[in-house]
């Protein structure tokens, strides 16, 4: 597989627009706010921005519930503000990727407003409608990712509609060619305004098993979210059609979000000979701390960090996709907590652990995604009380406390939310030590992380130990070193509980990437043995500057990239 596409040498920066930069003091980040920070992003070195949804939306699920695909939500600005942002980004050689949320719309979208009214209008089959069972109950026991049934009754049609997420997010019926054409058309609309590509929300869910068979319920669960929610029978047919209709003719980059997919599924999406998507986000490596036997919602029963599992998962992806398809590389996004709080150390070794996780990720093959604030080592928000959360996953679970559905007490839910909730990533960006971190002159829409006076862009960039400067180095390396793009991956020390070590080999040369992902010293004896005759040569990147060879043990969260000779 050739490695000459722009996105194969690129680092992409994800912006969560509500929380990035507020230009007008209403407490909500906006498009002029992003434009004002383009020089900052250029200094970091990123090649493209992925902007989470900015379309008209009632914001039941933070913009992932779209009521009009062609209009920018006034909270974020106007369509003209976006066109200006795109022009300014392009001037700086930065591309713009938008979020395509096409598994579902908002229930306020005009398509749904029409669809729910009758069984025989133009929009009737835009969504997935089924008759009740004879006793009036929902057509099947399918559950919503956000809790409760995936079916909601609509009295006007005397039918249920399907919603994988909130009931205000009805699922579109991709079996209907009119729906598919409507989606392709809105993609063409944004292309005409300069958008360079798409991040596709829950793309693995667009094709349904249309008979919706009941899931088995060994523990008498009322609702189940299971494997049938993803990878339906016509998924790849739809993606190939979309590729031919839009992606290839308009040269748009694509990254699908594919929950419920294994590395083997992933190859079906991204094998370049199949002409579907350029790459997919999958969840294997993010799910290493999910306990699949825990009560609903599983994610609020996180397991401790397991480095061996992480290495196994990331390695599987590197190996299975090598020369067939392209990987995404990420530890953070708007649905995940901060990686140093989740798996590293966000206190004493904050600089070291932020740079160590960055090193192992950015040394891999694929396209790295940096989520806003990751480049300065932002942490989870421990100053949140349950009432401070905005994320529907937490608020829905909080409503179920004390019921049989969830095994959690309020104290346990709060502890879990501090560890794993999506709002940890969604607190406003910390620019400087002034009021509200320079994010807004007004009241921020979500509580600030209490640590912004010490953790912020201005402070980080003044320090010798600057996480931002370390990211700049990693990004430059990716731009300049062909082996980072094309080199073959090999894991070393698969079962070592402290070290994540691997080599990349390209044209008979090898490079070593190693990090001690623990807060204790780690001996290098086994590593040196694994390298055999190869010696550590020039160090290209390192977070403990004194090191010159591999002789001494690796210190807490020490990481480096070295040429081998």
Does 41 contact Ca ion by CB under 5 A?
Answer: no
Minimum distance, C-beta of residue 28 to Ca ion, in the bound complex (Å): 4
Residue number with the shortest CB distance to ligand TEU?
64
Judged by CB, which is closer to ligand TEU: 170, or 366? 170
Q: Which stretch binds Ca ion (CB under 5 A): 26-34, 97-105, 121-129, 468-476?
A: 26-34
| Active-site annotation holder among 152, 171, 196, 257 | 257
| Binding of Ca ion by 22 (CB under 5 A) | yes
Binding partner selected for residue 332 from ligand TEU, Ca ion, none, CB under the kind-specific 5 to 8 Å limit: none
β-bridge pairing 68-72 and 279-281: unpaired
485 Cβ neighbours under 8 A, 6+ residues apart: 3, 8, 9, 365, 478
Considering the complex, what minimum distance in angstroms separates the CB of residue 51 from ligand TEU?
13
- Hey, is 198 helix, strand or coil? strand
335 binds, among ligand TEU, Ca ion, none (CB under 5 to 8 A by kind): ligand TEU
201 is catalytic: yes
Q: How far is the CB of 19 from Ca ion (least distance, A)?
A: 11
| Minimum distance from residue 201 beta carbon to ligand TEU (Å) | 5
Q: Which is nearer to ligand TEU, 397 or 518 (CB)?
A: 397
Does 107 sit near Ca ion (CB under 5 A)? no
User: Shortest CA distance to 28 belongs to which of 57, 69, 66?
Assistant: 57
Among 3, 6, 24, 158, binds Ca ion (CB under 5 A): 24
**Considering only CA atoms, which of 179, 153, 148 is closest in space to residue 164?**
148
**409 scored as a contact of Ca ion (CB under 5 A):** no
Considering only CA atoms, which of 446, 445, 449, 419 is closest in space to residue 433? 449
Contacts of 107 (CB under 8 A, 6+ apart): 65, 113, 116, 167, 168, 169, 170
Among candidate residues 316, 305, 252, 248, the one with its CA nearest the CA of residue 282: 316
| Footprint of ligand TEU (CB under 6 A) | 61, 64, 101, 145, 165, 201-202, 257, 259, 299, 334-335, 393, 422
- Tokens representing 533? 């005759």
Please give the structure tokens belonging to residue 190.
């944004």
101-107-113-118 Cα dihedral, nearest 10 degrees = 100
Nearer to Ca ion, 61 or 81 (CB): 81
Active site residue 135: no
Closer CB to Ca ion, 27 or 337, in the complex: 27
User: Nearer Cβ to ligand TEU, position 127 or 452?
Assistant: 127
Q: How far is the CB of 256 from ligand TEU (least distance, A)?
A: 11
Name the binder of 30 from Ca ion, ligand TEU, none, CB < 5-8 A by kind: Ca ion
Active-site hit among 81, 201, 372, 391: 201
Residues 6+ apart with CB under 8 A from 236: 268, 269, 274, 276
188 — phi, psi (to 5°)?
Answer: -65, -35
Whole-angstrom distance, CA of residue 298 vs CA of residue 286: 13
Task: Select the binding partner of residue 338 from ligand TEU, Ca ion, none (C-beta < 5 to 8 A, by kind).
Answer: none
Q: Provide the token pair at 69.
A: 């695909």
The encoded tokens of residue 175 equal: 């079996």
Pick what 28 binds: ligand TEU, Ca ion, none; C-beta below 5 to 8 Å, kind-dependent: Ca ion
**Whole-number minimum distance, CB 24 to Ca ion, in Å?**
5
Stated as kind and residue range, the H or E segment containing 414 is: helix 410-420
> Which of the listed partners (Ca ion, ligand TEU, none) does 61 bind, with a CB threshold of 5 to 8 Å by partner kind?
ligand TEU
Least Å distance between CB 146 and ligand TEU? 8
- Given ligand TEU, Ca ion, none, residue 24, with its beta carbon under 5 to 8 Å by kind, binds Ca ion
> Of 202 and 339, which has the nearer Cβ to ligand TEU?
202
Contact 560, 541 (CB under 8 A): yes
Is the CB of residue 123 less than 8 Å from the CB of residue 111?
Answer: yes
> Helix (H, G, I), strand (E, B), or coil: what is residue 388?
helix
Residue 212 CA: distances (Å) to CA of 135, 137, 223, 225, 228: 17, 14, 13, 12, 8
CB 517 within 8 A of CB 331: no
Q: Which helix (H) or strand (E) holds 98?
A: strand 95-100
Region 65-94 residues binding Ca ion, contact defined as CB under 5 A: none
# residues near Ca ion by CB under 5 A: 5
Encoded tokens for 313: 């998962």
Cα–Cα dist 370/53, whole Å: 17
Planar angle of CA 547, 549, 554, nearest 5 degrees: 60
* Complex with Ca ion: residue 366 or 438, whichever CB lies closer: 438
Q: How far is the CB of 26 from Ca ion (least distance, A)?
A: 4
Q: Is 47 in the site for Ca ion (CB under 5 A)?
A: no
Q: Which does 16 bind (CB under 5 to 8 A by kind): Ca ion, ligand TEU, none?
A: none
Candidates 16-24, 38-46, 373-381, 508-516 — which segment interacts with Ca ion by CB under 5 A?
16-24
Catalytic annotation, residues: 201, 257
| Interface ranges with Ca ion (CB under 5 A) | 22, 24, 26, 28, 30
């Amino acid at each position: 597989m050739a490695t000459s596409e722009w996105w194969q040498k690129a680092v992409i920066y994800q912006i969560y627009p509500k929380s990035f930069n507020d230009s007008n003091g209403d407490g909500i980040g906006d498009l002029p706010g992003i434009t004002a920070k383009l020089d900052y992003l250029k200094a970091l070195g990123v090649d493209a921005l992925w902007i989470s949804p900015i379309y008209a939306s009632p914001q039941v699920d933070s913009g992932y519930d779209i009521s009009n695909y062609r209009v920018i939500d006034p909270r974020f600005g106007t369509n003209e503000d976006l066109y200006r942002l795109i022009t300014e980004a392009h001037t700086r050689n930065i591309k713009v990727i938008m979020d395509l949320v096409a598994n579902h719309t908002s229930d306020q979208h005009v398509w749904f407003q029409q669809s729910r009214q009758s069984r025989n209008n133009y929009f009737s089959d835009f969504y997935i409608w089924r008759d009740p069972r004879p006793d009036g109950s929902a057509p099947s026991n399918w559950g919503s990712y956000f809790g409760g049934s995936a079916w909601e009754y609509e009295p006007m049609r005397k039918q249920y509609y399907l919603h994988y997420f909130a009931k205000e997010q009805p699922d579109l019926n991709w079996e209907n060619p009119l729906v598919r054409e409507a989606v392709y058309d809105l993609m063409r609309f944004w292309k005409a305004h300069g958008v360079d590509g798409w991040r596709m929300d829950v793309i693995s869910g667009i094709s349904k098993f249309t008979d919706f068979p009941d899931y088995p319920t060994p523990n008498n669960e009322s609702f189940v979210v299971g494997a049938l929610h993803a990878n339906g029978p016509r998924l790849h047919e739809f993606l190939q059609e979309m590729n031919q209709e839009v992606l290839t003719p308009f040269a748009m980059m694509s990254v699908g979000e594919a929950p419920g997919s294994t590395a083997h599924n992933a190859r079906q999406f991204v094998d370049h000979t199949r002409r579907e998507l350029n790459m997919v986000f999958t969840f294997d490596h993010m799910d290493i701390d999910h306990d699949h036997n825990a009560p609903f919602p599983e994610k609020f029963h996180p397991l401790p960090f397991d480095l061996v599992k992480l290495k196994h998962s990331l390695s599987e992806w590197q190996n299975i996709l090598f020369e067939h398809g392209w990987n995404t590389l990420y530890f953070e996004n708007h649905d995940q907590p901060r990686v140093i709080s989740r798996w590293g150390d966000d206190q004493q070794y904050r600089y070291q652990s932020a740079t160590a996780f960055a090193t192992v990720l950015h040394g891999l093959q694929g396209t790295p995604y940096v989520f806003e604030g990751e480049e300065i080592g932002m942490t989870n928000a421990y100053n949140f009380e349950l009432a401070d959360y905005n994320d529907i996953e937490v608020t829905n679970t909080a409503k179920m406390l004390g019921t049989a559905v969830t095994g959690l007490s309020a104290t346990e839910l709060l502890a879990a939310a501090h560890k794993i909730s999506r709002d940890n990533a969604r607190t406003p960006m910390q620019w400087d030590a002034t009021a509200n971190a320079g994010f807004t002159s007004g009241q921020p829409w979500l509580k600030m992380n209490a640590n912004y006076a010490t953790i912020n862009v201005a402070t980080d960039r003044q320090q010798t130990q600057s996480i931002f400067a370390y990211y700049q180095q990693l990004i430059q390396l990716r731009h300049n070193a062909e082996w980072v793009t094309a080199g073959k991956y090999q894991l070393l020390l698969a079962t070592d509980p402290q070290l994540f070590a691997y080599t990349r080999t390209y044209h008979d040369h090898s490079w070593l990437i190693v990090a001690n992902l623990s807060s204790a010293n780690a001996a290098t004896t086994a590593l040196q043995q694994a390298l055999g005759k190869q010696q550590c040569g020039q160090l290209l990147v390192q977070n403990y500057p004194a090191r010159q060879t591999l002789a001494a043990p690796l210190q807490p969260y020490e990481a480096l990239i070295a040429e081998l000779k």
